[in-house]
Amino acid sequence: MTDSATSSSGASATTSSELKIEDLFHQKRNEDSITKIFSAIYAPVGIIIFLFRCFLGFHTFLVACLLRKSGVFRMHALRTMCSILGIVVEKRGERDETARVLCANHVSILDHLAIDILTPCLLPSVWDIPSVIRWCFGYVDLGAARGRDHLVNGAKKLLAKETEMPLLAFPEGIITSGEKALIKFNTWAFEVAPIVQPVSVRVWRPYPWKVAVSVLGATWWTDLFYFFALPFTVISVEYLPKMEKKEEESLDEFTARVAETLAANLKISVSKFGISDASEAAKRLRTDQERARKVVNKEKTSPRLQDARQMDECAMRIKQSFPTFHLSAIRRDLEKTRSQTATVNNLKAGKITVSAADGQVGKVTLDASSWRGVFDNRKWQMIETNRQKYMDRGVEDDN
């Protein structure tokens, strides 16, 4: 297994080095046009299913609270109820009881639930979630908010006290698409115990409900809505053979070896990016989305140009800020947008094309419909020529 992981990692080294941090995440829920159309048609049915499953989900929550976490009946009851909720959990491989730490990749907000149904486990609480939900689903406060040392020490003390359930860790620290590469693993989980068992998690949805389970910067309740609204989602959990840290192996080397083994099973690579890079990418995405939203709102609130005189004045103002563009091109775009803000944005984005007629006086034809265009083109060419002469004369006077 290790040799295959190493060879797979070497073969994909070039590919992983060419990846950008944004490539490791889904950017949109629906990237396929057919899925978008089908989702719009399915929306009324999906809302009804969502409301029904919210009611059923409350009862699932009660079952998780009342039954003993490590009990067999709780596992079977939760697995059945989750199937009705549209969360189908598949199991591959066998759990090795000698490994006190389970190490899994992170592709959805329900990864921990899927693994917990198959193997009751404990998960360090690093999210801001209600205390009741934390207690119900086995989250434990190990001091992650106070730093890495507190987290490691808390995990070691917990495993020394808790002999039945293992500790579940997601070393990536963030949800990815799981399709291109893994985020560079954090080493804290591999310092807790010398033996870990890798667990690979895959999530898929049937076509045409092939909606991304999570996107970069999404909230957990948004992801949960799609889990409940869509017909079903399959979470496949595979237990890989346990791995033990070698005596001559450093902590970083052991962490990298586990990551490469897990990546080889998923048929992807291990990226050079860490959790800090992913957090920065999420911040950039939110900033870009907020900026785009402000531009759209500004375009909606900006007054529309009503007549030719207003557009002529607007074209002259824009020309002062963008002197390299011909007045004819600016005026022609104003005819389409009727908005100074929209035309300026088009200029910045390079969306305004320069026509071959710009800068040419043209000939008057017998077609009366072309007379207006020829007249406007001659007018703007005359203004452009006189403006350039005035600018040249000012430069000569300065000299």
Taking the domains of the chain in order of start, what are their residue ranges?
A: 2-292, 304-392
CA within 13 Å, CB half, 324: 5
For residue 74, the model assigns a pLDDT of 77
Phi, psi of 136 (to 5 degrees): -65, -45
For residue 356, the model assigns a pLDDT of 47
For residue 317, the model assigns a pLDDT of 85
**CATH number belonging to domain 304-392:** 1.10.8.10
C-alpha 132, offset from chain centre: 28
Kindly state the greatest CA–CA separation across the chain: 96
For residue 62, the model assigns a pLDDT of 77
Name which of 189, 237, 234, 205 is nearest 26 in CA terms. Answer: 205
Using an 8 Å Cβ cutoff, are 176 and 108 in contact? Answer: no
> How far is residue 172's CA from residue 98's CA, in Å, rounded to a whole number?
23
Name which of 361, 108, 386 is nearest 237 in CA terms. Answer: 108
For residue 127, the model assigns a pLDDT of 56
For residue 372, the model assigns a pLDDT of 60
For residue 170, the model assigns a pLDDT of 92
For residue 133, the model assigns a pLDDT of 61
Using an 8 Å Cβ cutoff, are 110 and 104 in contact? Answer: no
pLDDT of the chain along its 399 residues, tens only? 444 444 444 444 445 557 888 889 988 888 788 888 888 899 999 999 999 998 888 887 777 777 776 777 778 888 888 888 899 999 999 999 999 999 999 999 999 889 988 988 888 776 555 666 666 666 777 766 677 888 888 888 888 887 778 999 999 988 999 999 999 999 988 999 899 999 999 999 988 888 999 988 888 889 999 999 999 999 999 999 999 999 899 999 999 999 999 999 999 999 999 888 888 888 887 777 777 776 666 655 666 777 777 888 888 888 888 877 877 788 888 888 888 888 888 888 877 765 545 545 445 455 555 556 566 667 767 777 776 777 677 656 665
Residues ≥6 apart with Cβ < 8 Å to 223: 108, 109, 213, 214
For residue 106, the model assigns a pLDDT of 93
Using an 8 Å Cβ cutoff, are 124 and 148 in contact? Answer: no
